[in-house]
Amino acid sequence: MLALAYDRSAFYRRTFDAAGFHPRDLHSLGDIERLPMIDKQTVLDNLSDMCTRSTNGKDVDFGSTGGTSGKPLHFYLDAGRSYIEYAYLTSTWERAGYRLGMPMAVLRGRIVRSDRNGFLHEYDPILRHHYYSNFHLNDENMERYLGHLRGIGPCMFHAYPSSAHAFAKFILANDASGPGNVRGVLLESENVYADQLADIEKAFGARVLAAYGHSEKTILAAQCEYSRNYHVWPTYGYFELVDSGGKSIREAEQEGEIVGTGFINTVVPFIRYRTGDYATYVGEHCEACGREHTIIRDVKGRWPQGGLIAADGSVVSMTTLNVHDDTFRSIREYQFHQSTPGKAVLCVIPTTSLDEDEQRRIIANMNKRLQGQVVLDLEIRTELLKTARGKQPRVIQKGARETGPAQ
Ligand SMILES: [Zn+2]
């Protein structure tokens, strides 16, 4: 990939030369650290110079990352990459029980048209994918989705974590027995919180597997069959984790930014690309499964997330707000809306109804947890905010810095 970039891309020829680096100088993996890192802004500023060939051909696709208020990133990639990617995805999904040809129920931001009976479902007979609309997750629709899902035989459930969680809460609230035919649940494209995992596992009674990837296709990682840690696919891209000063992290328990050098995209090489995503380094060898792949945990995507901003400007992370006690026993879903540091609104969808005592109890519990750093008000909603791609961030910051979500 370095040789291709050096030979064919004006941008990389320039930056390699400036760094005094030639691809034949790469003798060990560490040598790549002699090259500068790039980021989203680099691609925004230099896209045409970064290309290794004409982008007019049929062998080139246009790619982009989403973004609610952030600037979307546009780039090009090989039209032929899809089957390579599909191979990575299916072998990742196999860790959760997927087999090629198995039907898949999908709740992932697709615009699904309703049939003549108002049922929001579409079917792709080649992939055997059943698409349901995650923009319309009300009780009536979820009941229909569930009824239909029960009839499609042994299958996988592929969803955004927020959508799978809404569905799980519906199952738990209405029907103690899950669909029964779901062999595994696949979660991608949003942060996954511990309380969501617990509810999803309970509702579906199936293995839940989270994976990390992004539209720029530099890094793909997925959870181990035996632990909550993620293994980075070493043949998909070269993985680095760097601290705030850009130095490589090799010590366990250190958190850093994910930097990727992708092997999939030969039209616009992404070399030492700062993804804006974060993870904690674990090691290189997994005792549980025996893989000699880089292991990371607590993957935090750049998609709208962050935390709540306290009056003093510090950030209260969502991890500290993971609620494992009975505070949310009568809440189906929740989302924080913040426009002023030190204050936020906790928007909730109740399971049935919330009387005033219950509302006071929830707010008192949460404010105690926040220790005065952020003072909450409660608002009852029937719907929470989603991005254009159907993702449902846990925190909505109005007027705050935000970059686009992956995939
Ligand atoms: Zn493992």
DSSP letter for each residue of 193-248: -HHHHHHHHHHH-SEEEEEE--TT-S--EEE-SSSS-EEE-TTTEEEEEE-TTSPB
- Percent of the chain past pLDDT 90, that is, above it, reads 65
Q: How many angstroms does the Cα of residue 234 sit away from the middle of ligand 1?
A: 14
Q: How many angstroms does the Cα of residue 228 sit away from the middle of ligand 1?
A: 9
Q: How many angstroms does the Cα of residue 352 sit away from the middle of ligand 1?
A: 41
CA dihedral 6, 40, 277, 109 (to 10 degrees): -110
Q: How many angstroms does the Cα of residue 293 sit away from the middle of ligand 1?
A: 8
Counts for the chain of helices (H) and strands (E), in that order:
8, 20
Report the CATH fold assignment for 84-211.
Rossmann fold (3.40.50)
The CATH number of 2-63+73-79+213-300 is: 3.40.50.12780
pLDDT in tens, 345-381: 999 999 888 999 999 999 998 888 888 889 999 999 9
DSSP letter for each residue of 66-114: --SSSPPPEEEEETTHHHHHHHHHHHHHGGGT--TT--EEEESS----B
Note the pTM of the prediction, 2 decimals: 0.81
Q: How many angstroms does the Cα of residue 198 sit away from the middle of ligand 1?
A: 20
Neighbours of ion ligand 1 (CB under 5 A): 224, 286, 288-289
Phi, psi of 90 (to 5 degrees): -65, -40
Distance CA 180, CA 137 (A): 20
DSSP state of 348: E
Helix (H, G, I), strand (E, B) or coil at 377: strand
Return mean pLDDT, the chain.
89
Q: How many angstroms does the Cα of residue 141 sit away from the middle of ligand 1?
A: 37
Report the CATH fold assignment for 307-397.
GMP Synthetase; Chain A, domain 3 (3.30.300)
| CATH 3.30.300.30-classified regions of the chain | 307-397
Secondary element (H or E) of residue 146: helix 139-150
The average pLDDT across 320-337 equals 79
Q: How many angstroms does the Cα of residue 227 sit away from the middle of ligand 1?
A: 7
Q: How many angstroms does the Cα of residue 329 sit away from the middle of ligand 1?
A: 34
Q: How many angstroms does the Cα of residue 195 sit away from the middle of ligand 1?
A: 22
Q: Using 50, 70 and 90 to split pLDDT, how confident is the model at 401?
A: very low
Secondary element (H or E) of residue 172: helix 161-174
pLDDT in tens, 87-130: 999 999 999 999 999 999 999 888 888 899 999 999 999 999 99
| CATH 3.40.50.12780-classified regions of the chain | 2-63+73-79+213-300
User: Tokens in use for 223?
Assistant: 């959870």
Q: How many angstroms does the Cα of residue 259 sit away from the middle of ligand 1?
A: 22
Q: How many angstroms does the Cα of residue 243 sit away from the middle of ligand 1?
A: 25
Q: How many angstroms does the Cα of residue 245 sit away from the middle of ligand 1?
A: 30
pLDDT in tens, 202-245: 999 999 999 999 889 999 999 999 999 999 999 999 999 999 99
The average pLDDT across 71-85 equals 88
Question: What pLDDT does 68 receive?
Answer: 41
pLDDT in tens, 131-158: 999 878 888 899 999 999 999 999 999 9
